[in-house]
Structures are given as C-alpha cells and as structure tokens.
Amino acid sequence: MYGAMSGKIEQMNLYGVKCPLNWAKAKVRLEDLERGDILELLIDDPKGRRDIPRAAEAEGYAIVSIHEADGRWRIAIEK
C-alpha cells in the first residue's frame, strides 16, 4: 500500500477533534512509533488537512499520502 516500507501501520481516528489538538494527539502517537512506521490519521477538520502535513514535515516526518472522501481525510505520515 505504501511502497517498500518495512514498518507497521497504525491508524488513529481523530474525527471530531479540531486543530491544533488533532496534531498534538498525533505527535504523541508518532513519538511512540519506530522509524519507518506509518501513522494514518483519520480527520474531518479542514484546517487540520492544511496544517497537519505542514507541522509533520516541520518536525521531520514524511507525508506518504493524503486521500479525501466526503469531507474526511486520511493522512499517512511516516516516522
């Protein structure tokens, strides 16, 4: 699904959680993952769709993909 990765994939449902709290929660989870792991964030806050990828990249994480459907987003972040 995410190419030649060797890490695990975790999913975090943040529907209903507004920015910046959704990124704060995601950041705590990312810190517990191993390098190469993927965290899929499920969000429905349009501000988070814009701000989370920027914040993640500023922290040194890689955005693997962003998918949108029906006003909800799945953002995959690699540690």
CB atoms within 10 A of CB 11: 11
Would you say residue 40 lies in a domain? yes
User: What is the model's pLDDT at position 5?
Assistant: 58
Model confidence at 49: pLDDT above 70: yes
Would you say residue 63 lies in a domain? yes
Number of domains in the chain: 1
- Structural tokens at position 72: 């909800």
* Contact (CB, 8 A) for 75 and 59: no
| Nearest CA among 7, 8, 25 for reference residue 16 | 25
Sheet with 38-43, edge to edge strand ranges? 9-13, 38-43, 72-78, 62-69
Q: How confident is the model at residue 2 (pLDDT cuts 50, 70, 90)?
A: confident
User: What is the model's pLDDT at position 3?
Assistant: 66
- Hey, what amino acid is at 66? I
Could you tell me the pTM of the whole model? 0.93
Would you say residue 1 lies in a domain? no
Residues spanned by the domain of 22: 9-78
Would you say residue 31 lies in a domain? yes
Model confidence at 39: pLDDT above 90: yes
Would you say residue 2 lies in a domain? no
